[in-house]
Structure 1
Amino acid sequence: MQGLKKSILVSLWFMFLTFPLMVIRIDSLNGTIDWRWENMLGMGVGSFVLSFVWRFMLARKEAGRAAAAGGAMSARGAWFERLRSDPKAAVPALAVLLAAFLVLPWVVSTYQTNIMISALLYVMLGLGLNIVVGLSGQLVLGYVAFYAVGAYSYAILNSNFGLGFWSVLPIGGAMAALFGILLGFPVLRLRGDYLAIVTLGFGEIIRLVLENWSSFSQGPSGIANIERPGLLGMQLSVSDATTYIYYLILAAVIVTILAVTRLKNSRIGRAWQALREDEIACQAMGIDITTTKLTAFALGACWAGFAGVIFAAKTTFINPASFTFLESAMVLAMVVLGGMGSVIGVSVGALVLILLPEYLRAFSEYRMLIFGATMVLMMVFRPQGLVSPGRTKYNVPDAQGAGADAARPAAGGNA
């Protein structure tokens, strides 16, 4: 009842504030005033409904938080936790999902396949940035620079030296990793906002160099006629080439997911997570901060380089306008929205942020408004992301008990 009263007060307040703008319209030609009372009614009803829904969702959020603090888990949370931890439930679900992705190009148009290629490309970028931001806790705002390094590596080597896609793919990843190390050395002592500003400047430096060094990168005109990936020397049509690139990027995403998952649970992955939680405590435990940070920058940049090579092969044309700060912001939003540190969450976040605006083209006038409102609601009601990263528990054997068992003589032996 208290929430209902507050929602009514909010609607009355909005009607009062918007009265001159929504209700009164002056016709200067005829010298008349039009009173649009229906607009005021719509404003009142809309603000009441939004306020009531907002308060209802906040109440549910608080109830869920209290239940989680008491050790209770919702049915949906228990189902997802079982899906994530129980192989008997996870393997069939992953098999069905993989089968759906495998048959997708044969049941949808080439246009829809192209959209999915872009989405999977951003999944790969998001997982690479997840290494740096989600696992090691280093806020990077110039991640698109490594993406550009990979793309231009393939474009320049293919145009000037005739190297093919498969030859340049490891070179693009290695070049991006090298640039990641070059960025990592100067920022070893920086953290937080200072690190973000420096990496943002690095991304802009790379873009401006590509835009102004015309003899090297063709400047704003870009590089065209880049070869698509070959398939045993066969000439592929546009439709067949699109399908081939789709399966190529799908395989790359699967490899990326497996690699990032293994890295997360490895020794270096645990060092990254310790660095994210507390850098001073991490160093006090004997972890080499320099090596840990540089490894995170290099591996995260490496995946961006791979994605850049595939992007250049897909579009057959690149220019510096494809590598602006907006791209870095979008990839970072995918990591935050999906859940920092969560491999599944970042993948889902990338698919949502790329596919949602595309399929809201029917609401072209309002789709960015819907997109922005969705982001705001997610950050208010689900700040940990769509899929929060589960905490891995390690069982350490009791050294004292093990020593006691070892010291105890075997039955029937000589004392």
Structure 2
Amino acid sequence: MTATSFRARASRVATAGLLLALFLFPRVASNYWLDVFTSAFFYVILALGLNVVVGFAGLLDLGYAAFFAIGAYTTGILTTVYHVPFLLTVPAAAALAALSGVVIGAPALRLRSDYLAIVTLGFGEIIRITAKNLTLTGSASGIYGIPRPTVFGHALKTQQDFYYLLLILAIVTYLAMRRLEHSRVGRAWKYIREDEDAAAAMGIDPFRYKLLAFVVGAVVGGLAGTVFAVRMTAIAPESFGFMQSVLILLAVILGGLGRLPGVVLGAFLIVLLPEAMREFASWRYFLFGALLIAMMHFRPEGLWPAGRRKMPQSGRAALNGGDGR
């Protein structure tokens, strides 16, 4: 057995063991820790969605919580005002998030990266302020009384129900992102991230692929928002502020841009570290921030940095895996 095959087998065994432990965790954990891990799975989904934009395509999005808010408010309004079943709100939320991604992305992606950051930041604040002032969205008080969902005949009511729901959704999102990463589209994103001019010279349309990344990220954020709404049964504009976008971005950067295992690790860290420091009371966020600064100083590429790959000489080679076939 070669060293490479041994490492691959060891990785598969470790992954299987970790998944088994996560599925058995509710049998031994208290509701408090179930809630913490459920929140971690939720941030895993959001971070994986933002990683498409920031990690794969190399774009800076400072308003990602806006898509999260669009999904949450779509489900909240449809279930409380129009009494639409939860499962029917999911495609509506995804479609509205995708449309919002196109509307903001089409003009913004033609700008330089620093201007793009400003536009996305402004978009995030516009969504939050709009939700805060519209009667339909409950104004500053938000929407309350969102019914708990019934999925395939099973009513989701307990903390354990949402733990398993978010765990399964996190796994599905991870597998989808992994497949996307190794597809023609994923390779095009990476070449655009490394050198946009060179990618364009190889026949890759940077604008089209960047817009696609923006829309994919928006859809993932919108879908996460639907689950957030029914889990919390209440949503308010302040849940989708700028700091929420920063926290999700921090998970991506902390774990390693473009590296899926690192993004998962980063999402867990931003949830678990503050909880581990809870005994320090008011000092815990100061210590958390200091620890993050130290991590970024000593590991600027993230805890699980992505490897660089050499760009192929032709567009066909680029999109077919870099082998020229």
Same fold (TM over 0.5): yes
Give the counterpart of 1:356 among 273, 280, 287: 273
Measure, in 2, the Cα distance between the counterparts of 1:232 and 1:300: 27
The reply to whether residue 161 of structure 1 matches residue 82 of structure 2 is yes
Q: CA deviation at 1:173?
A: 1.7
Q: CA deviation at 1:190?
A: 1.2
Measure, in 1, the Cα distance between the counterparts of 2:182 and 2:309: 8
- Alignment-derived partner of residue 227 in structure 1: 147
AA at the equivalent of 1:362: E
Measure, in 2, the Cα distance between the counterparts of 1:91 and 1:174: 35
Q: CA deviation at 1:235?
A: 5.5
AA at the equivalent of 1:282: A
Gaps of 5+ in 2: 311-320
AA at the equivalent of 2:27: W
The reply to whether residue 181 of structure 1 matches residue 98 of structure 2 is no
AA at the equivalent of 1:97: L
SS at match of 2:282: coil
Q: CA deviation at 1:127?
A: 0.4
Matches within 5 A, 1:290-329: 290-329=207-246
The reply to whether residue 254 of structure 1 matches residue 167 of structure 2 is no
- Alignment-derived partner of residue 279 in structure 1: 196
CA contact (8 A) 2:87 2:151 kept: no
AA at the equivalent of 1:346: V
Instruction: Give the stretch that moved more between structures: 223-232 or 138-147.
Output: 223-232
Measure, in 2, the Cα distance between the counterparts of 1:258 and 1:179: 25
The reply to whether residue 192 of structure 1 matches residue 113 of structure 2 is yes
CA contact (8 A) 2:67 2:97 kept: yes
The reply to whether residue 150 of structure 1 matches residue 71 of structure 2 is yes
Measure, in 1, the Cα distance between the counterparts of 2:112 and 2:232: 36
Give the counterpart of 2:323 among 366, 383, 396: 396
Measure, in 2, the Cα distance between the counterparts of 1:227 and 1:389: 41
Measure, in 2, the Cα distance between the counterparts of 1:210 and 1:276: 34
CA contact (8 A) 2:148 2:155 kept: no
In the superposition, the TM-score normalised over structure 2's length comes to 0.92
Measure, in 2, the Cα distance between the counterparts of 1:183 and 1:367: 37
Larger radius of gyration between Structure 1 and Structure 2:
1
AA at the equivalent of 1:273: K
- Alignment-derived partner of residue 294 in structure 2: 377
Q: CA deviation at 1:364?
A: 1.0
SS at match of 1:228: coil
Instruction: Give the stretch that moved more between structures: 245-254 or 186-195.
Output: 186-195
Matches within 5 A, 1:15-164: 86-164=7-85
Q: Which structure is higher in RCO with an 8 Å CA cutoff and minimum separation 6?
A: 2
CA contact (8 A) 1:229 1:245 kept: no
Give the counterpart of 1:243 among 142, 160, 175: 160
CA contact (8 A) 2:75 2:229 kept: yes
Gaps of 5+ in 1: 1-80, 400-415
How many residues get paired? Answer: 313
Q: CA deviation at 1:308?
A: 0.3
Go from structure 1 to structure 2 and tell me whether the alpha carbon gap of 1:180 and 1:231 turns closer, same or farther (over 3 Å shift): closer
AA at the equivalent of 1:396: D
Q: Give the % identical residues.
A: 47
- Alignment-derived partner of residue 315 in structure 2: none
- Alignment-derived partner of residue 316 in structure 2: none
AA at the equivalent of 1:349: G
SS at match of 1:163: coil
Instruction: Output one character per residue of 1:21-56: Cα deviation in whole Å (capped at 9) or x when no partner.
Output: xxxxxxxxxxxxxxxxxxxxxxxxxxxxxxxxxxxx
Q: CA deviation at 1:396?
A: 2.5
Measure, in 2, the Cα distance between the counterparts of 1:232 and 1:312: 19
SS at match of 1:108: coil
Measured on the aligned residues, the alpha-carbon RMSD in Å equals 1.8
The reply to whether residue 172 of structure 1 matches residue 93 of structure 2 is yes
Runs of 4+ aligned residues of structure 1 deviating over 4 Å after TM superposition are 231-236, 391-395
Instruction: Output one character per residue of 1:337-372: Cα deviation in whole Å (capped at 9) or x when no partner.
Output: 000000000100010011110121101132122111
Measure, in 1, the Cα distance between the counterparts of 2:46 and 2:119: 20
